Structure 1
Amino acid sequence: MLKAEYRARGPVPQDVIEAVPFEKPTLGEGEVLIELLAAPINPSDVLTLTGDYGMLPPLPAIGGNEGVGKIIEQGPGVESPALGQTVLLPVGCGTWRTHLVMQADQLIQLPNEADPQQLSMVAINPPTASLLLSEFVELQPGDWVIQNAANSGVGSYLIQLAKLRGFKTVNIVRRESLIAPLQDEGADVVLVDGDDLAKRVKNAISGAPIRLGIDAVGDTATGRIADSLADEATLVNYGMMSGKPCRISPASLIFHGITLTGFWLAKWFDKASPEQQMAVYGELTKLIAAGKLQAPIDSVFSIKDIKEAVALAAEGGRNGKVLVKA
């Protein structure tokens, strides 16, 4: 049994984490032993290792914030979930380990017939994409949405969910090689970022108004999205891939009435009721199980190769998510 542990944080994320062996634990009352099926490496995971994320666990810690596993052993008093059942691992529990011990009554059962690699990514990026589309602007079928970092995990889910809800998307990327893959996912318009972005967006959609913009990059990229929006539109920032603060012109704020706001899934969880959370996850899980919602996967590593996995995830320039498994 192995766990991906880090005892310090530093600028090179793969240097601070390593696969460490541990003994098989004895199960207590109400506990189950879970074997990891798959867990993603998200940008937030990399930022946690470097110390740049908004919420940092105490050290030492085990990496990974989401994933799925299957029940392989039941402790005293456990009847459900059954052996072999696929379960969603609690968010933030340190999922990068071959095996986990959890309280059985804290686990959400998932469809065994669904692809576990796709299910492993359900906890963070899909609800982020879903809520970005629903919480800020009351969109109607046929409305346009613009986003940058469109090839990211959230970006991919947003394209698919927007199409399922009848919205149209303008998707901004950093290189031309990403255009065709996003069009294959259902993106209506894909453009490479640049100084004349607003003009090219206007031409691509024949001047249709865009009332919702979504930014994961920050710096001047935020301003270029703002310049592409209709007056009184809302621009939501949920990431800082550039490593720099959002830069938006006073003209956008004052003369065009653009509202710039932020979104963090953890804060939404703090305020949302259990019923609201289950409604979001219920919809997304059904879509994934039906094959209507999925994310591209770049590669899958074993926990023993966690350094290589984190290095690849931190590099960027991929066309899919990096996952780890037992």
Structure 2
Amino acid sequence: MKRAIFRQHGDPAKVIEIIEEDDPTPGPFEVRVRNQVMTINPADLLSIEGRYGAEPITLPATPGVGAYGIVDAVGEGVTRLSIGDAVLPVGGGFWADTLILHERMAPKAPAGADPEQAALMRANPGTAHLVLTDIVDLQPGDWVVQNAANSNVGRMVIRFARERGLHTVNIVRRADVAEALTADGADAVIVDEGQDLAAAIAAAADAAPKLALDAVGGTATRALGGALADRGTVVAYGLLSGQPNEMDARDVVFRDVRLQGFWLFDWYRTATPDKMRELHAFLEAKLAEGVLQTDVDARYPLDQIKEAVAHAARGGRNGKILLKGDHNA
């Protein structure tokens, strides 16, 4: 089997490497999964760089939180899965062509789903759905503002908000993505060119937003907080800038604007089984409806991991970068 590892933090394209190991054998209640698709997310790159919030981690480490694979061996006592079943692994360390998982960590993929879209189903769409539903009581007609709106999470937020009758103001850095976001259902797109963002948001929305979604951090958090209604909430779910979140004391003290974090991995650690089933049922339904369709910019075999992470780190992309396993049918 092959898997990607990094032995030290640094530039992903420089520190990531592929190692080969003997094929593992599943133990009791375990299954062996041959990955066909693995996803690359910003959090993976930040983790390799040592800039992700979950640090410190034990090195060497294997990144990756999204995958689609096929069960090709089962251990004693496995009852829920059979050889040939398609699964969506839960957990991490998935940049490998072969995994050993407890059967409860290998839920079946939706029947007939496209492997690439299924691999992308859980992380970004799950975050988008939960930040819209679990934090602020939003009603049809309310406004939401977000930065990094051209990210996969951002585009899912736009689509889910539209379905719920919510309005969105979407901040991006490139004018050429505005048309795609409008097609997704964006009510307003603001190209960040160094202007007063709070004023631009106020001009774009007919009511002050109750919720802001921040994937950037640093001064971007301050701009979102300044645009919110009194007692509004900024949800920080990413840190693309690598800078600490900033808030204006006038917004925090005198208008009760709040900053709250969200991390999907932590949500899974604390959610009840019923909540997890509810989320997965929602995502499977949206996948079947085509709502979760995600653009893919390029695909690389696992052996070309350095090229893949370098591509994923570049600006100007119009879709996800995927890794492909050696066991594709």
Give the letter aligned to residue 272 of structure 1.
Answer: A
Mapping for residues 115-130 of structure 1, pairs under 5 Å: 115-130=114-129
Per-residue deviation, 1:175: 1.6
Per-residue deviation, 1:76: 4.5
After superposition, the C-alpha distances for 1:257-304 in whole angstroms (9 at most, x for unaligned) are: 311222222322232212112211221122113312222222111100
SS of 2:211's partner is strand
SS of 1:210's partner is coil
SS of 1:227's partner is helix
Q: Give the corresponding residue for 1:2.
A: 2
Deviates more, 1:178-187 or 1:74-83: 74-83
Give the direction of change, closer, same or farther, for the CA distance of 1:220–1:291 in structure 2 (3 Å limit). Answer: same
Give the conservation status (yes or no) of the 8 Å contact 1:195–1:224. no
Matched-pair identity in % = 42
Give the conservation status (yes or no) of the 8 Å contact 1:237–1:261. yes
Give the letter aligned to residue 58 of structure 1.
Answer: T
Q: Give the corresponding residue for 2:167.
A: 168
CA distance in 2, matches of 1:87, 1:214: 31
Q: Could you list the runs of 5+ residues in structure 2 that have no partner in the other structure?
A: none
After superposition, the C-alpha distances for 1:148-189 in whole angstroms (9 at most, x for unaligned) are: 010112111111111122211111001211211211222121
Give the letter aligned to residue 64 of structure 2.
Answer: G
RMSD after superposition: 1.8
CA distance in 1, matches of 2:212, 2:318: 23
Q: Give the corresponding residue for 1:148.
A: 147
SS of 1:109's partner is coil
Give the conservation status (yes or no) of the 8 Å contact 1:198–1:224. yes
Q: Give the corresponding residue for 1:64.
A: 64
Per-residue deviation, 1:78: 4.2
Give the letter aligned to residue 85 of structure 1.
Answer: D
Q: Give the corresponding residue for 1:133.
A: 132
Q: Give the corresponding residue for 1:258.
A: 257
Q: Give the corresponding residue for 1:197.
A: 197
Per-residue deviation, 1:45: 0.7
Give the direction of change, closer, same or farther, for the CA distance of 1:76–1:169 in structure 2 (3 Å limit). Answer: same
Give the direction of change, closer, same or farther, for the CA distance of 1:111–1:254 in structure 2 (3 Å limit). Answer: same
CA distance in 1, matches of 2:196, 2:27: 62
After superposition, the C-alpha distances for 1:31-82 in whole angstroms (9 at most, x for unaligned) are: 3322212121111111111112122431222221221211233345545423
Per-residue deviation, 1:4: 0.9
Mapping for residues 76-115 of structure 1, pairs under 5 Å: 76-78=76-78, 80-92=80-92, 94-115=93-114
Aligned positions, number: 323
Q: Give the corresponding residue for 2:247.
A: 248
Give the letter aligned to residue 7 of structure 2.
Answer: R
CA distance in 2, matches of 1:98, 1:266: 22
SS of 1:161's partner is helix
Q: Could you list the runs of 5+ residues in structure 1 that have no partner in the other structure?
A: none
CA distance in 2, matches of 1:251, 1:50: 34
SS of 1:62's partner is coil
Give the letter aligned to residue 209 of structure 2.
Answer: I
Per-residue deviation, 1:109: 0.8
CA distance in 1, matches of 2:111, 2:83: 11
Deviates more, 1:267-276 or 1:207-216: 267-276
SS of 2:277's partner is helix
SS of 2:234's partner is strand
After superposition, the C-alpha distances for 1:215-251 in whole angstroms (9 at most, x for unaligned) are: 1111221122122212221111112111112222222
Q: Give the corresponding residue for 1:280.
A: 279
Give the letter aligned to residue 170 of structure 1.
Answer: V
TM-score by length of 2: 0.92
TM-score by length of 1: 0.92
CA distance in 2, matches of 1:142, 1:13: 42
Per-residue deviation, 1:113: 0.7
Give the conservation status (yes or no) of the 8 Å contact 2:146–2:154. yes
CA distance in 2, matches of 1:129, 1:145: 12
After superposition, the C-alpha distances for 1:198-222 in whole angstroms (9 at most, x for unaligned) are: 22322223x3231111111112211
SS of 1:61's partner is coil
Give the conservation status (yes or no) of the 8 Å contact 2:25–2:32. no
Give the conservation status (yes or no) of the 8 Å contact 1:113–1:289. no
CA distance in 2, matches of 1:197, 1:110: 41
Give the conservation status (yes or no) of the 8 Å contact 1:7–1:16. yes
Q: Give the corresponding residue for 1:298.
A: 297
CA distance in 2, matches of 1:81, 1:289: 22
Give the letter aligned to residue 225 of structure 1.
Answer: L
